[in-house]
Amino acid sequence: MPAVFTDVIIVMVVAVVVTLLFSRLRLPALVGLFVAGVFIGPHAFGLIKSPESVEQLADIGVIFLLFTLGLEMSFRRMGRLARVLFIAGPLQVVLTGAAGFGVGLMLDLSLPQAVVLGMLVSLSSTAVVLKTMTERAEVDTPVGRNVLGILIFQDILVVPMMLALPLLGGEEPHISMSAPALVGVAIGVVVLVVVLAKWVVPRVLYEAARSRSADVFLMVVVAICFAVAALSARLGLSLALGAFLAGLIISESEYGHHSLGLVMPFRNLLVSFFFVSIGMLLDPGFLADYWWVALLGAIGLMLVKTITGTIAVQALHYPLRVSLGTGLALSQVGEFSFVLAAVAAGNALLPENLRQEFLAVAVLTMAVAPVVMSQSAHAYRLVERLHLPRWITAGGEVSAAAEPSYSDHLLIIGYGINGRNLARAAREFGFRYAIIEMNPQTVREEFARNEPIHFGDATNEAVLAQAGAERARAAAVVIGDPAATRSIVAQLRRMCPALHVIARTRFLTEMQPLYDLGASDVVAGEFETSIEIFHRMAHYLDLPEQAVRSLEQAIRADHYSLLRRPEDDRTGAYEEISRAE
Predicted local distance difference test score (pLDDT) of residue 26? 76
Bridge partner residues of 502 (DSSP): 476, 521
What are the C-alpha distances in Å from 42 to residues 279, 281, 286? 10, 8, 13
Please list the residues that pair with 434 across neighbouring strands: 411
Radius of gyration of the chain (CA): 27
pLDDT computed for residue 580 by the predictor: 43
Q: What is the location of CATH 3.40.50.720 in the chain?
A: 402-527
The pLDDT assigned to 78 comes to: 66
Looking at CATH, the fold of the domain delimited by 402-527 is given as Rossmann fold (3.40.50)
Cα–Cα separations (whole angstroms), residue 360 to 35, 101, 199, 512? 11, 19, 47, 41
pLDDT tens for each residue of 254-268:
888 888 888 988 888
Give the H/E segment covering residue 454. strand 453-455
pTM: 0.68
CA distance 415 to 402: 17
Q: Note whether 396 and 440 are within 8 A (CB).
A: yes
CB 84 within 8 A of CB 316: yes
The answer to whether the CB of 325 falls within 8 A of the CB of 380 is: yes
Residues in the chain, pLDDT under 50: 175-176, 397-404, 562-581
What are the phi and psi torsion angles at 133 (to 5°)? Answer: -70, -35
pLDDT digits 0-9 by tens, 504-550: 998 888 888 999 999 999 998 888 888 888 888 888 888 888 888 88
Which residue spans of the chain are classified as CATH 1.20.1530.20? Answer: 3-382
> Do 333 and 301 form a contact (C-beta atoms < 8 A)?
yes
pLDDT at position 121: 95
pLDDT of residue 295: 92
CATH number of 3-382: 1.20.1530.20
pLDDT number for residue 238: 66
Q: How many CA atoms lie within 13 A of 545 on its CB side?
A: 0
Cβ atoms of residues 467 and 451 within 8 Å: no
Closest to 464 in 3D by CA, of 489, 481, 483, 498: 489
The 10 Å CB-count burial string (b at 16+, else e) for 21-53 is ebeeeebbbbbbbbbbbbbbbebbeebbeebeb
Instruction: Write down the pLDDT at residue 410.
Output: 94
* Rounded (5°) CA angle 7-19-309: 115
The distance of Cα 475 from the centroid of its chain, to the nearest Å, equals 30
Cα 424 to Cα 407, 412, 430: the distances in Å are: 19, 11, 10
